[in-house]
Amino acid sequence: MYQKDLLQRRTILLTGGGTGLGRSMAMRFADLGANIFLVARREEPLKETVNAIRAKGAKASYALADVRDFEAVEKTISAAEKEFGTVDTLVNNAGINDKVGLEHGTPEQYVDSLGRNLLHYYNMAHFALPYLKKTRGCIVNISSKTALTGQGGTSGYASSKGAILALTREWAAELLGYGIRVNAIVPAEVMTPLYRQWLDTFPDPEEKLKTVLAKIPLEKRMTHPQEIAAMALFLISQKAGHITGQHLFVDGGYVHLDRALT
């Protein structure tokens, strides 16, 4: 169990916090006293998350911004620091499996996919760094199993998530002198609204779900968003005070265990 005030007075900057994994993480951090500042492009989901956090008695705010825009990112992070007085943690989460493949994509679409899934991780970290240096803060990057397994038909997303793992190690090395820890979480099959939308593209969504579940070694079930949030909470807490440069898999053994087990 964590103390109720574990994250008291900590300000957590989180991209894509309106739905799915981002919302689960934001709500969990708020439960333990953190100030939450969310960044995304769609206002309605952000409002809903912020209102839910405030209903708990915690502090939260948001900014509408295209995180691919350098100036918008710089202004947004400055606004977060101005509102809460500090930026202690960055959680890079925003992204979408946009199915930009090699055979059925174009070079232009591929570059756009990198913008949606990779480049803004650098933008956010770059402009948050001056504040993180002051607080000896930390960064958590959300990657994906596609970085290691491939999926087919999603070159932009898969290569972005692979680069995120590389950047996690690179930043951890570069920022050692500032005491800034950098780690990545690697989910596999997590039931989020986007995942449900994907399932619903099949003629028989429930049958497709059964085939997915059969391939997950531990308990033959999806990972819950709250389980990703629990790992993120551990990584940003002092309980992980000597962990940096790591790729943490929360996937029920999906990536590494022998397929014969399923």
Bridge partners of 15, per DSSP, are: 39
Predicted TM-score (pTM) of the model is 0.96
C-alpha distance from residue 91 to each of 11, 19, 58, 125, 253 (Å):
11, 14, 18, 9, 24
DSSP helix, strand, coil percent of the chain (3-state; round to 5) = 50, 15, 35
- Give yes or no: residues 140 and 170 share one domain: yes
Burial class of residue 82, CB neighbours in 10 A (0-12, 13-18, 19+): exposed
- Give yes or no: residues 199 and 83 share one domain: no
Instruction: List the chain pLDDT tens, one digit each, 262 residues.
Output: 677 778 888 999 999 988 999 999 999 999 999 999 999 999 999 999 999 999 999 999 999 999 999 999 999 999 999 999 999 999 999 999 999 999 999 999 999 999 999 999 999 999 999 999 999 999 999 999 999 999 999 999 999 999 999 999 999 999 999 999 999 999 999 999 888 998 999 999 999 999 999 999 999 999 999 999 999 999 999 999 999 999 999 999 999 999 888 8
CB 27 within 8 A of CB 52: yes
Q: How many domains does the chain have?
A: 2
* 254 is annotated as an active-site residue: no
- Give yes or no: residues 115 and 214 share one domain: no
Domain-located, residue 174? yes
CB 206 within 8 A of CB 212: no
- Give yes or no: residues 216 and 239 share one domain: no
pLDDT for 1 equals 64
For position 38, which CATH number holds? 3.40.50.720
Domain-located, residue 126? yes
Domain-located, residue 2? no
Domain-located, residue 262? no
- Choose the catalytic residue: 122, 157, 195, 254: 157
CB 98 within 8 A of CB 157: yes
Domain-located, residue 3? no
Closest residue by Cα to residue 144 from 221, 246, 238, 248? 248
Pair of tokens at residue 212: 């997915």
Any alpha helices (H) in the chain, and if so which ranges? 20-31, 43-55, 70-84, 107-114, 120-135, 146-149, 155-174, 193-199, 205-213, 225-236
Question: Residue 209 belongs to what domain range?
Answer: 191-222
Q: What is the DSSP letter of 236?
A: H
pLDDT for 133 equals 98
